[in-house]
Amino acid sequence: MAKVYQYGNNVDTDVIIPARYLNAPDEKSLASHCMEDIDPDFAGSVEPGDIIVGGANFGCGSSREHAPLAIKSCGVRCVIAASFARIFYRNSINIGFPILECPEAVASIHAGDQVTVDFSTGIIKNETTGRTFQAAPFPAFINGIIESGGLLKSLKARGIAK
């Protein structure tokens, strides 16, 4: 079951993936430096299916898509946060990486808890405490992008791109 990595408010894109590594934007390189400046042990210990829980304004700062890409490339299943900075929010949706906004869940999930997430319903369950939470639902339009697997694939699905 998924491990939880917990961070505070205002986790910025510079700590998610420092600019000194943006000269190599391949997924493997980004993953190997993910969260390096806030949690040097993260990249070495994260396993596919793990979950990141953040506070308010997660992903603030630079527009670098490398940030959600780095997290996604580590195999992280989703980020649950009290709120997201808007460019990080857009970028995650656009690359088909699930994010959930749910302050209540963030307040009662702790590092080491076992957490399961149902993206179709937005229900987050803390298996350790037995409590469940309902994340804010995405509008249908945005759900369409996520379900297509990202913005460019959704353009194809809508016949806008070839």
Partner 1 sequence: MGMTMTQKILAKHAGLSSVKAGQLIEGKLDLVLGNDITTPVAITEFDKAGLTRIFDKEKIAIVLDHYTPCKDIKAAQLCAKARAFAKRFDLTHFYDVGQMGVEHALIPEKGLAAPGEAIVGADSHTCTYGALGAFSTGVGSTDMAAAMATGSLWFKVPQAIKVTLTGTPGTYVSGKDVVLHLIGEIGVDGALYQSLEFTGDGVAQLTMDDRFTIANMAIEAGAKNGIFPVDEQTRAYLKDKVDRPWEAVDADSDAVYTREVVIDLSALRPTVALPHLPSNTKTVDEVAGMEIQQVVIGSCTNGRLKDLAEAAGILKGKRVAPGVRCIVLPATQKIYLDAMARGYLETFITAGCAVSTPTCGPCLGGHMGVLADGERAVSTTNRNFVGRMGPVSSEIILASPAVAAASAVAGCLADPEKIVRGEQ
Query: By the criterion CB under 8 A, which residues form the site for partner 1?
Result: 10, 12, 14-15, 18-20, 22-25, 37-38, 56-57, 60-66, 69, 83, 85-87, 90-91, 94-95, 139, 141-142, 150-153, 155-156, 160-162
Q: 37 vs 47, which CB is nearer to partner 1?
A: 37
Q: Cα separation of 150 and 104, whole Å?
A: 27
Q: Cα separation of 94 and 144, whole Å?
A: 11
Q: Cα separation of 94 and 127, whole Å?
A: 30
Residue 45 CB, nearest approach to partner 1 (Å):
18
Residue 162 CB, nearest approach to partner 1 (Å):
6
Q: 123 vs 142, which CB is nearer to partner 1?
A: 142
Phi and psi, residue 101, nearest 5°: -100, 115
Q: 9 vs 132, which CB is nearer to partner 1?
A: 9
Neighbours of 87 (CB within 10 A): 18
Residue 101 CB, nearest approach to partner 1 (Å):
11
Residue 16 CB, nearest approach to partner 1 (Å):
10
CA dist list (Å): 54 to 25, 51, 99, 104, 133: 24, 10, 11, 12, 15
